[in-house]
Structure 1
Amino acid sequence: MRERLFRGIALAGVAATSIFAATPALAQESQAENAVPEGEIVVTATKRAESLQSIPISVSAIGGETLSKSRIVNVDSLVTKVANLQLTSIVGDNTPIFSLRGVSMSDYSLNQASPVATYYDEVYKGNFAFLGVAMYDLERVEVLRGPQGTLYGKNTTGGAVNIIANSAKLGETSGYFNAGYGNYNRVDLNAAVNVPLGDKAALRVAGTYAKADGWFKNVVPGKPDLASTDEYAIRATLNVEASETVRFVLRASTSFQNPQNYGIYAQPEAANRPGLGQREIASNIDTKRRARTYSVALTSTFDVSDALTVTSITAWDKGSLFFYEDTDGTASQLL
């Protein structure tokens, strides 16, 4: 048996200046949303809003509606939608070590940083224990291939994965609620509500919940089936336009996962799992896996002139990850 525990706290204050080319297209885009042609995908991969077709880097972008319709409910599922993107999950769902163009890492330590960085609303997630339940109420996901050190700094020699959540929309009252039921008594709930707070501010609250029985049948009497689902997350976003040139976006979120842990699966079955079927396991460990995250981020934008915008991103992250492994995958007290 093996017990692993990780806790981490990250605090970052970043002030960055972004010089925007003073082209008529960008000037119109900042004044009217109608400047973006219908159906065109606008990304911020280069730290400014640009059309996906015009940016000079290799990037794939997936819209939030496509993610929802494709049932992309965790970060691991992105590999089914993005070419060249692969991953290794050393401790289960939502703990990806990404690989792009063959660049990754083979270190299984929990305190190492992958060369393919993950960002959530432009905040760097230096450890996957900070990521938690991330794939809900999203605007889009951007995957950048190749070295991105110029704009993103270190830990991006292979590329970067940007997850962008829906922001609060000024002057709009809207929302949605989705519910689903599936195999193994799986229940999915997703909801969001957007409300205006006067003419210059808006609040958006979004949440998700999922619960399902384990699909890995445990043949040990009295022990639960493994690989279940039990998680929830909630995020609040406050958008404030203090003036025509000053804007603030404050985000706060938390998530919690507490499922039955993942079982050990080994092949060939005849040698490593005698007497067990493909979806059966004999495990004497029933300790649940726990992952908790907290995050607060403030994005401040100041338009200094028509050609210069200063953006400051300050963030605080706290995450904990605990799982108790039955490494031998048998009812014996072996590993």
Structure 2
Amino acid sequence: MMKLSRMHKRLLALSAMLPMTAMAQEAGQTAPAASGQLETVTVTAQRRTENIKEVPVSVSMLAHEKLDVILSSGQDIRVLAGKVPSLNVESSTGRVFPRFYVRGYGNADFSTFASQPVSLIYDDVVQENPILKGYPMFDLAGVEVLRGPQGTLFGRNTPAGVVKFESAKPSLKGIEGFYNLSYATHGTANVEAAANIPLSNVWAMRVSTLRQHRDDYVSNAFLNQPDSMEGYNEHAERVQFLFQPSSTFNALFNIHQRSGVGSSRLFRANIIKKGTNDLVDGFDAEKIFTNGQNYQNLNTKGGSIRLSWDLGSVKLYSISGYETVSDYNSRGDIDGGNPVNGPGVVPFQVETAGFIPELQQYSQEFRVESKKAGPLSWQAGVYYFNEDARGGSDGYNTAGARTTHVLSQQQNRASAAFGSVNYAVNDALTVRGGLRYTKDVKDFRTLEAVNTVLVGPQSVHADKDKFNWDLSGTYVLNKDVNVYARVATGFRAPSVAAASTSVPITVADAETITSYEAGIKADLLNRRARASLSVYDFDVKNQQLTVVGGNSNVTKLINAAKTKGRGIEAELEGFVTPDFKVSTSASYNFTEIKDPSLSVNKCAQCTVTDPLNASGRVIINGNPLPQAPKWIINASARYNYPLADGNLFVLTDWSYRSKVNFFLYEAVEFSGKAMTEGGLRVGYNWAGGKYEIAAFGRNITGTQRITGAIDFNNLTGFINEPRQWGVQFKGTF
């Protein structure tokens, strides 16, 4: 085990050797930047707009060109994996149902009602159900990744951190907008556009849209169906209205929706070579040997109202959010093969569909913050959350007919009161403290069970209340360098998983975290470079974990007595010359389950490396958390060559993550190998940057990796996104 001091020295040495930046941190400006200087990055990590250097939290910002580059080939939200320190995103359900991990801390639960310790907040509205977390990224002002517990100012399940999206907002200043068109391998088309239109001197509208398409390009060799899988059609829209009748009041109305059809995740039987974590010899990513059906459809809608009043000494905010899922169905051949012949032959058949016929989520927050200048500032508020969701799963036989049906309902209500205080002790030292009280109540019941006998009771009730707090201090060493320290707690409410024929409805008790963090943030070389470094250590009590499979399709929730984590994160960006900008970032995350009493069923066909107890179950004490890479490293570089009428540029970006375990136990076959993916972009912009044309590639080395697996009676897995080559044109008006 590597000691923290050694990790610290190792990453500091790496930081000194590499030309670090963060093209991953281009964001909003508070002051114009001179040629060869970095723009000032502002974030809302503490619910106020602040210079990122002054915020006592480990936070990264992605915006503008960085988002454009990684999204150019029609990617969904999973593309954020590994693009900033300590962030991983994965899914066993394809373009919907993403699972987020920060500092190795997340949840691999794939059930309909899964909760996560990383909260996703879109335009100040929490997206609680994992289906809502997959809303596409388009026309964004920025994405903030807040690492560590955010349990006082943000309202839902934030012990690991927050991923925060902010849409570009309407403006009264004039008509403006953009269009962004790309076409790539496999007929992948991405169309994004937005228009800002002032309607009067007090009303403005912003309309944003996204269209994404990919052709089917994977053939089902068993059913002789060429190019029948892995395609999708998706569109999303957002309309916002700004009403600003005076300098003391404004209202922002947001209406959005998402619709998509296409393939669900392709599970591929027997693609892992026994005794290794390699793909089998002769593996062909464009073929599958399955006898099951595969499809996915989704429709979501939502809206929010954000009101702001300037009352002189204070500002008052009201944020009302409403989200719905009106149709979600994802069907796949979970065994990944067929019972007859070929590389996909499997010993038994499992074909299921997860569905949500109805989900409604309402949230309301009132917040007041001080406005007067002085050493003391504060904010306080109340929060309410209400979710009513119905969902379940269907099973199918080899002929494709539905054989079983389970429908459940979860009703979740939560309320909270919170406050925080900032106090400038002197010109150099500022301290901050926050407190939040939360009460969370869940009622879960089975509504229908057709052709299946579920064990245990038909309903459960769970409720918990908790105080969370944080305390931090920021010290200004000089005008360019700040240091900070922070201790914070977090809380995730109890989670519930539906019953099966062998496992009753299970409830995982609430989990809590205490985290210690310290860091340094600096502007360097007259703002030609920027650096940050943070170290942390956390303890999670009663962490909620998900037990899956073994040799059957079940999900069960358990609690680990304790999980420990520690690590280090570094980011550096800067201009080598006014036309040459480079970046890199790195993180080391160590996690360990600490519970000698915990054991799980082992896989049937894999090579388990953990010890077994007397019952033949795997002891997971000492294991890292699933999907928790120790290392995440990013590097990018952009060279601009000025011409008479425009600029020629070359941009490359690379991301690396070390190996991960797929499940709670450690097995040779069920660990994902280290993965490096790179991108390349060559383009030309002109008319002062108004127009741009570019050729691009994503995953340019054609890296193929197993990124997840199904723990059944065979070696079934799924893989990363394929290599893409394409062209892009964008313009502004």
Q: Return the offset for 1:131.
A: 3.4
Aligned residue number for residue 198 of structure 1: 200
Contact 2:187–2:215 (8 Å) recurs in 1: yes
Give the Cα–Cα distance (whole angstroms) in 1 for the partners of residues 167 and 227 of structure 2. 35
Distance in 1, matches of 2:83 and 2:281, equals 37
Q: Percent identity over the alignment? A: 26
Q: Secondary structure at the match of 1:170?
A: coil
- Residue 58 (structure 1) aligned with residue 58 (structure 2): yes
1:310 aligns with 2:280: no
CA distance in 2, matches of 1:86, 1:282: 30
Q: Match of 2:175?
A: 173
- The equivalent of 1:241 in structure 2 is 244
Alpha-carbon spacing, 1:268–1:192, altered in 2? closer, same or farther (3 Å): closer
Q: Deviations over 1:20-60 (max 9, x none)?
A: xxxxxxxxxxxxx9964442122112111111111111110
Deviations 1:105-134 (A, max 9, x none): 232222121010000001000012123442
Question: SS at 2:65's partner residue?
Answer: helix
Instruction: Report what 1:12 is aligned to.
Output: none
Which deviations, in whole Å up to 9, do the C-alpha atoms of 1:218-256 show, x marking residues without a partner? 212246522212101111011111221111110001111
Which blocks of at least 5 consecutive residues in structure 1 are unaligned?
1-32
Q: Per the alignment, do residues 173 and 297 of structure 1 end up closer, same or farther by CA in structure 2, a change over 3 Å counting? A: same
Alignment length (residue pairs): 302
What are the equivalent positions in structure 2 for 1:112-191 lying under 5 Å apart?
Answer: 112-191=114-193
Contact 2:260 2:298 in 1 (8 A): yes
* 2:87 equivalent to 1:85: yes
* Aligned mates of 2:322, 2:57 — CA distance in 1: 30
Residue 328 of structure 2: aligned partner: 321
Cα offsets for 1:277-333 (capped at 9, x unmatched): 343101233442011110100000111224x21111001100142111111222448
Cα distance, 1:35–1:261 mapped onto 2, change above 3 Å? closer
1:270–1:156 distance in 2 versus 1, CA, 3 Å: closer
Distance in 2, Cα, partners of 1:265 & 1:69: 30
TM-aligned CA deviation for residue 267 of structure 1: 4.7
Match of 1:15 in 2: none
Aligned to 1:56, the other structure's residue is in SS state coil
Deviation (angstroms), 1:257: 1.1
Structure 2 partner of 1:5: none
SS at 2:68 equivalent: helix
Letter of the 1:225 counterpart: S
**In the TM superposition, what whole-angstrom CA distance separates every residue of 1:131-152 from its partner, at most 9, and x where no partner exists?**
3442111110000000001101
Moved more, 35-44 or 79-88: 35-44
Aligned to 1:231: 234
1:22 aligned residue: none
Distance 1:282 1:153 in 2: 45
Confirm whether residue 258 of structure 1 aligns to residue 264 of structure 2.
no
After superposition, what is the alpha-carbon deviation per residue over 1:162-208, rounded to whole angstroms, capped at 9, x for unaligned?
01111111122012222211111112111111110111221010101
Question: Aligned equivalents of 1:79 and 1:275: distance in 2?
Answer: 28
Q: Residue in 2 aligned with 1:300?
A: 307
| Aligned mates of 1:134, 1:278 — CA distance in 2 | 26
Q: Which has the higher contact order (CA 8 A, sep 6+)?
A: 1
Paired residue for 1:41?
A: 41
State the one-letter code of the partner of 1:302: W
Task: Give distance in 2, aligned partners of 1:121 and 1:170.
Answer: 19
2:280, 2:268 → 1: CA distance?
Answer: 8
Q: Which amino acid aligns with 2:67?
A: L
Using structure 2 for the length normalisation, give the TM-score.
0.39
- Report SS of the residue matched to 1:310: strand
What is the DSSP-based 3-state SS (H/G/I as helix, E as strand, rest coil) of the residue aligned with 2:268? coil
Q: For 1:221 and 1:286, how far apart are their aligned partners in 2?
A: 13
Cα distance in 2 for partners of 1:70, 1:47 equals 27
Task: Name the CA shift for 1:242/1:177 in 2 (closer, same or farther; >3 Å).
Answer: same
1:132·1:255 contact (CA, 8 Å) conserved in 2? no
- Cα pair 1:64 1:141 within 8 Å, conserved: no
Runs of 4 or more, structure 1, over 3 Å off, are 33-38, 266-276
1:93, distance to aligned residue in structure 2 (A) = 1.9
Tell me, in whole angstroms, the C-alpha distance in 1 between the residues paired with 2:280 and 2:118.
35
Name the amino acid aligned to 1:231.
E
2:29/2:40 contact within 8 Å kept: no
The alignment partner of 1:277 has SS state of coil
Contact 1:211/1:231 (<8 A) preserved: yes
* Separation (CA, whole Å) in 2 of partners of 1:268 and 1:179: 36
The letter for the 1-side match of 2:228 is: D
User: Any idea what SS the aligned residue of 1:289 has?
Assistant: strand
Cα deviation, residue 274, structure 1: 9.8
Q: Secondary structure at the match of 2:207?
A: strand
Q: In the alignment, which residue of structure 1 is the partner of 2:584?
A: none
Change (3 A) 1:60 1:157: same
Are 1:109 and 2:120 an aligned pair?
no
RMSD value, Cα: 2.4
1:204 and 1:181 map into 2 onto residues whose CA distance is: 25
Aligned to 2:535: none
Question: Which amino acid in structure 2 is aligned with residue 309 of structure 1?
Answer: K
SS of the residue corresponding to residue 162 of structure 2 reads strand
| 2:240 partner amino acid | T
SS at match of 2:228: coil
Work out the CA distance in 2 between the residues paired with 1:113 and 1:231: 25
What corresponds to 2:470 in structure 1?
none
Q: Structure 1 residue 264: deviation in Å?
A: 0.8
1:212 aligned residue: 214
Shift of 1:269: 4.9
The secondary structure found in structure 1 opposite 2:105 is: coil
The 2-side partners of 1:262 and 1:148 are apart by 32
Q: What is the distance in 2 between the residues matched to 1:89 and 1:284?
A: 23
- Cα separation, partners in 2 of 1:270 and 1:204, compared to 1, 3 Å: same
Query: What is the identity, as a one-letter code, of the residue corresponding to 1:295?
Result: G
Greater share of helix residues, 1 or 2? 1
Please give the alpha-carbon distance, in whole angstroms, between the structure 2 residues aligned to 1:87 and 1:309: 36
Q: Relative to 1, partners in 2 of residues 1:86 and 1:275: Cα closer, same or farther, differing over 3 Å? A: closer
Q: Name stretches of at least 5 consecutive residues in structure 2 with no aligned partner.
A: 1-27, 34-38, 340-347, 351-733
Equivalents in 1 of 2:147, 2:191: separation in Å? Answer: 33
Shift in CA distance, 278/287, structure 1 to aligned 2, threshold 3 Å: closer
- Report the Cα distance in structure 2 between the residues aligned to 1:287 and 1:78, rounded to whole angstroms: 26
| Aligned-partner Cα distance in 2 for 1:181–1:314 | 38
Work out which of the residue numbers 277, 283, 293 in structure 1 matches 2:290: 283
Contact 2:29 2:41 in 1 (8 A): no
Partner of 1:19: none
Structure 2 contact 240–252 (Cα < 8 Å) conserved: yes
Indicate if the aligned counterparts of 1:136 and 1:207 stay in contact, CA closer than 8 A: yes
